[in-house]
């Protein structure tokens, strides 16, 4: 009984979101959208719910991050593109600020069904901390900055909908920690990945020492971190660091295109069910099996009274595609 009460407390914050999801746009398997098209002027952003207008990162410092709410058949998919070509997408104060704002917008938007985190810079996902900016910081500034970066990556990991990291280039240090916070990682075969902080006489400070062992096992994680080893996409897939490793294409966005395919597989499913499944898995992995099963039971209870569940049964009976509205 105590365990179930704990699970109910765990679900309290989520229940308000799951209970009032807005109707979603029609979803389908539209044509491929390469990154160049997605962030072109022809692709209009979807307005986030509860906002007078979508955020635009299109000039000056705001150009460091571009967020696109896809529309049409891909409505419900959000693409978060890092865009600091001169700094190899290194994590700066400004990038942390912009990403924190974007994650907060996404978290509040019940129309969002999946999120893809990617790079708009060829050959780079994220090179980690901006060491040039770090070198100019006073020692007293370093701790607070790392705390903000850690909080950002934690919030990314806590988003209620599926998140996919599309790694089409180097993901080093904090860049790999950002990808590790996502539910699923997809890389190109030639992408380079590693937690290389030991080379600088520091340790991963944004979750790397915790998430990497959970992804590939304790012993292998220690080996990679102690050696500051960098692996390619094919090796990362073998280790379980990424779920899929794909052959890179001429436009350099093969991992993104595979991530988009995966997001399109997620989109037609019941959105409340997907969020509850993610919550059950994430929380259940941190506890013993008996407690995890109780968490699953509590999450299952949340989907029983939904209109989507009834729609699923009706669609099955009528042999048609269900039309889920997140209600």
CA 281 to centroid of chain Cα atoms: 15
Task: Give the active site residue among 90, 129, 179, 255.
Answer: 129
| Pair 157, 150: CB distance under 8 Å | no
| Pair 59, 102: CB distance under 8 Å | no
Respond yes or no: is residue 197 known to be catalytic. yes
Task: Give the active site residue among 128, 173, 174, 326.
Answer: 174
Respond yes or no: is residue 174 known to be catalytic. yes
In degrees and rounded to multiples of 5, residue 189 shows phi and psi of -65, -25
Task: Give the active site residue among 18, 197, 205, 284.
Answer: 197
| Pair 274, 161: CB distance under 8 Å | yes
| Pair 327, 21: CB distance under 8 Å | yes
Task: Give the active site residue among 76, 177, 191, 221.
Answer: 177
DSSP readout, 242-259?
A: SSEEE---TTS-HHHHHH
SS3 call for 227: helix
* Strand-pair partners of 232: 192
Q: Which H or E element spans position 66? A: strand 65-69
Bridge pairing between strands 184-188 and 170-172: unpaired
| Pair 168, 119: CB distance under 8 Å | yes
Q: Which H or E element spans position 82? A: strand 77-82
Respond yes or no: is residue 179 known to be catalytic. no
Would you please indicate which residues are annotated as catalytic (active-site) residues? 129, 174, 177, 197
């Amino acid at each position: 009984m105590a365990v179930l009460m704990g699970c109910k407390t765990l679900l309290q914050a989520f229940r308000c979101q799951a209970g009032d999801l807005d109707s979603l746009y029609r979803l389908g398997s539209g044509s491929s959208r390469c990154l160049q098209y997605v962030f072109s002027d022809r692709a209009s952003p979807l307005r986030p719910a509860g906002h007078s207008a979508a955020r635009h990162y299109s000039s000056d410092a705001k150009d460091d991050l571009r967020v696109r709410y896809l529309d049409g058949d891909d409505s419900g998919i959000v693409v978060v593109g890092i865009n600091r070509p001169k700094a190899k997408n290194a994590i700066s104060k400004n990038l942390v600020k912009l990403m924190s704002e974007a994650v907060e917008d996404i978290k509040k938007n019940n129309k969002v069904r999946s999120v893809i985190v990617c790079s708009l810079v060829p050959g780079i996902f994220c090179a980690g901390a901006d060491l040039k900016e770090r070198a100019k910081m006073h020692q007293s500034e370093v701790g607070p900055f790392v705390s903000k970066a850690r909080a950002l990556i934690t919030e990314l990991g806590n988003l209620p909908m599926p998140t996919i990291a599309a790694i089409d280039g180097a993901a080093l240090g904090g860049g790999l920690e950002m990808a590790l916070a996502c539910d699923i990682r997809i890389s190109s075969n030639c992408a380079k990945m590693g937690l290389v902080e030991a080379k600088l006489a520091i340790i991963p400070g944004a979750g790397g020492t915790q998430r990497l062992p959970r992804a590939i096992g304790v012993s292998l994680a220690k080996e990679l971190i102690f050696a500051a080893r960098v692996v390619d996409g094919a090796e990362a897939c073998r280790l379980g660091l990424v779920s899929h490793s794909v052959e890179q294409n001429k436009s350099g966005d093969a991992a993104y295109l595979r991530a988009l395919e995966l997001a399109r597989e997620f989109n037609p499913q019941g959105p409340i069910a997907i969020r509850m499944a993610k919550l059950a898995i994430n929380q259940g992995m941190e506890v013993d099996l008996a407690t995890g099963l109780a968490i699953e039971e509590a999450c299952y209870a949340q989907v029983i009274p939904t209109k989507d569940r009834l729609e699923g049964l009706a669609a099955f009976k009528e042999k048609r595609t269900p039309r889920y509205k997140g209600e």
